[in-house]
Amino acid sequence: MGDQPMTKEEFDGANTALSAAITALTAHVAALTT
């Protein structure tokens, strides 16, 4: 990471990707534990 501040678009994109990853991980863990 450089010193440049993130743009709102970058932040939103990262947030969306993170949410999708967490959702997928949660679903995967739920599937494993049932």
Is the pTM value of this prediction over 0.75?
Answer: no
Residue with tokens 């932040």: 11
Mention every residue, 6+ apart, whose C-beta is less than 8 A from residue 6: 14
Q: What is the pLDDT of residue 32?
A: 93
For residue 14 the two structure tokens come to 């990262």
Cα(28)–Cα(10) distance, rounded to whole angstroms?
27
Give the mean pLDDT of 23-30. 96
Q: Is the pLDDT of residue 18 over 90?
A: yes
Cα(29)–Cα(10) distance, rounded to whole angstroms?
28
